Amino acid sequence: MTTIPEVAQAMQTLLTTTAEEVARKTGFIQRQRKVSGAGFAQTLVFGFLSHPRSTREEGRQTAATVGMRLSTPGLDKRFTAKAAYFLDSLLQRALAQVVEAVPGSEGLLARFTGVYIADSSVVKLPPELATVWRGNNHDEEAAVKVAVRWEMSRGGLGIWLRSARQHDQQMGVGNGPRPPGSVRLNDLGFFNLETFAHDLAHGVDFFTRYKTGTRLALPDGTRLDLARDLRQQPPGPVDVPILLGALHLPARLIAWPVPQEVADQRRARLLAQARHKQQPLSETTLALAAWTIYLTSLPPERLPPREALILGMTRWQVECLFDLWKNSGALDESRSQDPHRVWCEFYAKLLALLVQHWLFLVSCWRRLDRSFHRAAQLIRKQALHLALTLPDLPVFIQSLSALADSLLFTSGLSRRRNHPLTFPYWLLEVGDV
């Protein structure tokens, strides 16, 4: 789906007929007299779109807006385990929808058929939910890991939920086909030589930071001692062909020395992390902190060394997404102490954030200088109006169209001369990275 009418139809179907169908299948609507699956879903989705940190009374007001006349205690008691199961099931139905924007035709990202970024973030939950979502530290801790796969050209978003103890590579986020000519741009949590080999066999390239301890060799088989060999290089960037790992995957090593101040900051952070985890820190790791190092299968004609730094910067967009979800969308917050309500709110907020992302894709996505925080602010102001117009599809389409025009016009970022944002780099407008 790429157009406003298509997204409007998808939102209306999801929050009306699909919600009712899922409510029946999950048993949520049994003995419910004043609450419907559609009304409950609309109350939470539009309520959290309007105010992610809304109070109980504000929730009741949103319920009245969508046609459910309930007291505040009457709404409170609907937050049950069945309600959580209903919202989780509805979220999975929403994730099955394919919503993408029309990709741009200029700049670095347009060079690839897709730029796929994956990452994860942990949301803590009440300890009563430890049997559902097990935390990292002990059996009484509850936390859920939210993993995403985000395609940066078209904006398509996938979400996976697992217990916080699950390793990133076991989340399923790395699975699924990618088109030939695309590139996988993941963090070290997804560093896997077998995955890289599979990608190469299907015409997909990889771009990753170097994982300390990974075997590297020159094309003639000579083993590299990376810390030693980089110290012996003349000043400036390094770009050499290598064989990666025990599988001897053909790749490039691209490295840049960093200023001494940056190297010292990195080493201080590494030492602090090692003390926190009570783990030893190797001299090699400390030595390599003086370099920014990437490994990629992309040839120089598709990715010159300077542009490799820009591609590396692009991975941080997923960190911005999690920042938006937590700071602006309050995904990891709740005003309630009731574990079932917190559980329900987590699914509902994630569903609201997914719908919000759909709105981004049909409005401000075409702007490379987009600010999702500014766009979210405007969506909050219009969310209850969208709730009122949802039942009438033509009117709802008009509402979404007007909102999309406003988002396109107001969500831009100001260009900064001293510290440029990422988008001028994507357009290859900035001389030095």
State the Cα–Cα distance between residues 249 and 200, nearest whole angstrom.
9
Cα dihedral 389/390/391/395 (nearest 10): 50
Q: What is the pLDDT of residue 30?
A: 62
Q: Are residues 217 and 302 in the same domain?
A: yes
Q: Are residues 215 and 295 in the same domain?
A: yes
Please give the tally of structural domains in the chain.
2
| Closest among 9, 101, 74, 54 to 345, alpha carbons compared | 54
Q: Is residue 316 part of a domain?
A: no
Q: Is residue 129 part of a domain?
A: no
Q: Are residues 215 and 302 in the same domain?
A: yes
Q: What is the pLDDT of residue 281?
A: 81
Q: Are residues 221 and 280 in the same domain?
A: yes
Q: Are residues 345 and 397 in the same domain?
A: yes
**Amino acid type, 224:** L
Q: Are residues 213 and 283 in the same domain?
A: yes
Residue 156 near residue 150 (C-beta atoms within 8 A):
yes
Q: Are residues 301 and 340 in the same domain?
A: no
Q: What is the pLDDT of residue 426?
A: 65
Q: Is residue 154 part of a domain?
A: no
Q: Is residue 53 part of a domain?
A: yes
Q: Are residues 62 and 12 in the same domain?
A: yes
Q: Is residue 144 part of a domain?
A: no
**Going by DSSP bridges, is the β-strand pair 216-217/205-209 parallel, antiparallel, or unpaired?**
unpaired
Q: Is residue 245 part of a domain?
A: yes
**Tokens linked to 335:** 């005003």
Q: Is residue 298 part of a domain?
A: yes
pTM: 0.91
Looking at 285, 306, 327, which one is the last position of a domain?
306
Averages of pLDDT over each 10 residues, the chain, 433 residues: 91 96 89 82 97 94 93 92 96 94 78 92 93 81 94 93 88 82 90 93 95 92 91 87 94 94 91 84 88 95 89 89 95 94 97 97 87 94 96 97 94 63 60 50
Q: What is the pLDDT of residue 109?
A: 86
Q: Is residue 235 part of a domain?
A: yes
Which residue range is the domain that position 31 belongs to?
Answer: 4-98+335-410
Q: Are residues 12 and 59 in the same domain?
A: yes
Q: Are residues 9 and 90 in the same domain?
A: yes
